[in-house]
Amino acid sequence: MKRRAVALMALASAVGLACQDIVSAPGLCPEFCPAGEIRVRDTLLTGVEPVGSYSGYLLPHEARQVQVVGPGGPAEAQAMIVFVPFNAKYAGGDTTVKDSIIRTDSLRVRLHIVRRNAGVSGVTLALHEIPITVDSATTYGDMTPYFQDSTLVATLPVPDSLVMDTVAATFPAVALRHFGPESLQVGIGVRISSPDPAFVTLASDSIAVAARITRFVQVDSSTGTTRVTRSDSWGSRFKTFVADPGGFPPPTGLMVGGATGARAFVKLNLPASIVDSTLVVRATLLVPPAQPIFGAPGDTFLLRVIALGSDFGPKSPVADTSYGGSVRVAVGGSDTVSVDITKILLLWRGNPAAPRSLMLQLEPEAASINAVELPGQGSATPAAIRVTYALPFRLPGS
Amino acid sequence: MRRAAMLVVTALLAPGSAAAQNSVYGLIGIGFPGDPLAVRARSLGGGIGAFDPTSALNPATVAGLERLLAGGAAGTTLRHYTAGDSTVSGLRETRFPFGIFGGPIPSTPLSFALSFSTYAERTYDITTTGTQVLRRDTLEVTDRVASDGAVTDFRGALAFRPWSRLLIGAAFHLLGGSSKLTVGRTFSNQDYAPYVERSYLAFSGTGVSAGVVLLPTSAIELAASARVDGDLAITSGTRSAGSVRLPVSLSGGLRLTPAPGLSLSSTAVRRSWSRAQQDLFAPSRAFDTWEIGSGIELSRPRARGATLPLRFGVRYRQLPFSNVATQPSETVITGGTGLLLAGGRASLDASVERFHRSGGGADERGWYFSLGVIIIPVGIR
């Protein structure tokens, strides 16, 4: 009896468990639609409060890229590369030759271009010999004397078809006035000459180095009977770029980017009724540039917006960066820059302790002269936020 | 056996398990009205509902429980419908719509019954498309509104038999249950994040009912009952989502037993659902309803030595809610049988129903299969 009862229960349970509900169906409104209303609204909020602009987080010599900007644009910029010093003896690794260098014939500098402006032809890179003592404090003015005809080492045409590749120039060792037994280190400055405004950006990280230098030397074979040519090469020890400060417009608002890698902080005064009580489906930070977007002619860059984890000034830590937004911006434009910050508002939802503050920065940082200027306090065209949000589903009677 | 009975009771009273067959008409008003009927009563078209002690329509019938019993039912709906230009098929739901536990109270003339049944089924998953202008762009939007749950009627009934030919009972009804509401919208433009909102609607309300069963002769039974429900309060989280006035229900029944093994029964129910009209929002409309069911039961046939009754029935009922001026209705043809097990200490009932609902802009047809079990524990009186 007990066994049969258990069997019956099992049967009843099986009936229930074995059957999966299928109830999805298209609605036919209004005859067969559930009562209630989905309400999605859109509003423009002007509560974007400029807080400040700070720089120094990353300097050009620490940046992932180095920018060279030619004349004709708003500001010229020149790259400076100091290579690792060569050894007094051949260090190319070929054990079939002696390591005593009879003569240095020539040197070759290879530059790794990762970006340039399209549509400009006849771009030439001019390589100048610069002091190996340049450092992060060197200014554009300091370098002006070294970008003269007298210091020109080589010119390097950039093929019009080149977008991202390496280019190399080989020149005799005697072209370097200060390269010799006393100093086996080379400093090279790079500037652009072109009929139209142009720029070139060099890679500068651990994966793609900005430049390498190769030395071609005469050495004897190990038997001493034959003189052969061998080479050894080194990477850069220091690289940076300097920009003509005279080309930068006087800032009136909050600067983001530039060679100093400035970051801007803004505070959003958002009503809690939207952030916490609705579901934001789209939020856009609208930034009308205070003046046309500054930078290398034809260049574009990424403007990133990140939420702050805590807000205590320039050294505020950022929140989870995966919640940030970004937009690619073209230099020279004066249209309002729109950055999607939907994820940031979702991050803030139900988290009143999170500061409603944002940090704006360029990506990569401190790697170009490009900059955006946000409208400052009291600007006639302030930044704003456009929020599209869904109100809680309204049931009839509620 | 006793432990098995308790397991059945526990399983049947599990929260959220109560829901009945669903319908396209369940989208409107408070949902698709359920039936407080056991499987045997269902297979008789509901005709025996006013007399069946294992159903929960008439509390007076509880006095007919001579032994402690526990029972429950499971049912599966297969349906398809046409509404406007849309034809939807392949819909399927399985529910546990009814459970009861009751019997005589020792040392008293009273009997009791605790039961649950579906008051209104609120399970649906509807997708609609449309457009919305946002930021000066016209976007295509796809909305989904899904509900999973039911309004459940928990009944506690007491009844007694002052004379052998009269049964009197009363019951208190506690309406409860909840539905999980999922609302979402997706946009044709990927710049707009799809949103999904999930919330719970909780239902609450009370009601009372009373009824009598009169047996003037051994071949004739008469029954009548009345039920008055208050308002059904709906809350979403901590805020009110409105309330709906519930109907007063009056039912009456006639059962004839012209010969041993042959039983004819009819039950009619009138519900004043139009009371809810003022609580509904346009375009929903509420109508008073009639429900009439009749059945015939032949209980003498035998199969392999066991009693194998044959049950047939037909039921017509008006449905209370519509979004247009016409009131929909339902016609059901039913059949079923049952099997006594363990010397009459358990029974297994099966029912099959073919239903057709129409009106209000839709035409819905389908099958409803239900299986019920009743267990009379050994050693408990």
Print pLDDT tens along chain B (381 aa): 444 444 443 333 333 333 345 888 988 889 999 999 999 999 999 999 999 999 999 999 999 998 999 999 999 999 999 988 889 899 998 888 899 999 999 999 999 999 999 999 989 888 889 999 999 999 999 999 999 999 999 999 999 999 999 999 999 999 999 999 999 999 999 999 999 999 999 999 999 999 999 999 989 999 999 999 999 999 988 888 889 999 999 999 999 999 988 999 999 999 999 999 998 888 889 999 999 999 999 987 655 556 789 999 999 999 999 988 899 999 999 999 999 888 778 999 999 999 999 998 899 999 999 999 999 886 544
Minimum mean pLDDT range among A15-29, A128-142, A323-337, B130-144: A15-29
With H, G, I as helix, E, B as strand and everything else as coil, classify residue B13: coil
Please determine, for residue A4, whether its predicted confidence score (pLDDT) is greater than 70. no
Residues 6+ apart with CB under 8 A from A313: A52
Does the beta-carbon distance from A22 to B90 stay under 8 Å? Answer: yes
Contact A282 B192 (CB under 8 A): yes
For an interface test with A, give the residue of B95, B197, B236 to mutate (most A CBs within 10 A): B197
A112 with A203: CB under 8 angstroms?
A: yes
Q: How many Å apart are CA B208 and CA B157, to the nearest integer?
A: 10
Side-chain-side CA neighbours of residue B293 (13 Å): 32
Give A19's contacts in chain B (Cβ within 8 Å): 76, 92-94
A29–B236: do the CB atoms touch at under 8 Å?
no
Convert A64-94 into a string of H (helix), E (strand) and C (coil).
CEEEEECCCCCCCEEEEEEECCCCCCCCCCC
Contacts of A144 (CB under 8 A, 6+ apart): none
B298 HSE (CA, 13 A, CB side) = 5
CB-based contact A393 B28, cutoff 8 Å:
no
Which residue is closest to A30 within chain B, CA to CA? B323
- N- to C-terminal Cα distance for chain A? 53
Contact B1 A40 (CB under 8 A): no
Nearest CB to A32 within list B134, B201, B323: B323
ipTM at complex level: 0.78
C-alpha B320/C-alpha B328 separation (Å) is 8
Name the phi and psi angles at A310, rounded to 5: -140, 155
A23 and B345 in contact by Cβ < 8 A? Answer: no
- Report the C-alpha gap between B50 and B48 in whole angstroms: 6
Nearest residue to A19 via CA among B371, B209, B227: B371
- Model's pTM, two decimal places? 0.79
The answer to whether residues B209 and B229 touch, using CB atoms and an 8 Å cutoff, is no
Partner-chain residue, chosen from A16, A22, A27, that has the shortest CB–CB distance to B96:
A16
The answer, yes or no, to whether the previous bond of A396 is cis (omega within 30 of 0) is no
Q: Which chain A residue has its CA at the smallest distance from B243's CA?
A: A397
Q: Which of helix, strand or coil describes residue A342?
A: helix
Note whether B193 contacts A281, CB cutoff 8 Å: yes
pLDDT in the model for residue B5 = 42
Q: What is the CA B221 to chain-centroid distance, rounded? A: 24
Q: Which residue of A has its CA nearest to B194?
A: A281
Angle at A26 between CA A25 and CA A28, to 5 degrees: 125
Distance CA B184, CA B211 (A): 46
Q: Please report the pLDDT score of residue B341 as a whole number.
A: 85
Q: Are strands B69-83 and A65-69 parallel, antiparallel or unpaired?
A: unpaired
Closest CA to A389 of B135, B239, B146, B235: B135
Q: Cα(B335)–Cα(B297) distance, rounded to whole angstroms?
A: 10
Structure tokens at B65: 């429980």
pLDDT confidence of residue B46: 96
Band of residue A2 on the pLDDT scale cut at 50, 70, 90: low
Q: Which residue has the higher pLDDT, A250 or B367?
A: B367
The answer on pLDDT for A48 being more than 70 is yes
- CB within 8 A of B163, min separation 6: which ones? none
Smallest Cβ–Cβ distance between A282 and the set B83, B193, B242 belongs to: B193
Minimal Cβ distance to A398: which of B145, B240, B373: B240
Cα separation of B222 and B213, whole Å? 6
Q: CA A272: distance to chain centroid?
A: 33
Position A331 scores a pLDDT of 93
pLDDT score for A140: 94
d(CA B12, CA B6): 10
Amino acid at A152: L
Task: Report the distance separating Cα B344 and Cα B350, nearest Å.
Answer: 16
Residue-wise DSSP of B151-171:
EEEEEEEEEEEEETTEEEEEE
Of residues B123, B100, B103, the one with CA closest to residue B12: B100
Q: What is the C-alpha separation between A213 and B118, in angstroms, rounded?
A: 84
Nearest chain B residue to A339, by CA: B191
**Collapsed DSSP state (helix, strand, coil) of residue A4:** helix
Chain B residues within 8 A of A20 when measuring between CB atoms: 92, 94
Nearest to A79 by CA among A165, A140, A162: A140
Q: Residue B17: its pLDDT value, please?
A: 35
A contact residues 6-45, partner B, Cβ 8 Å cutoff? 6, 8-9, 11-13, 15-16, 19-36, 38, 40, 42
Tell me, what amino acid is at A242? V
| C-alpha distance from residue A107 to each of A169, B21, B71 (Å) | 8, 87, 97
Separation in Å, CA A185 to CA A225, A235, B39 = 30, 11, 97
pLDDT at position A166 over 80: yes
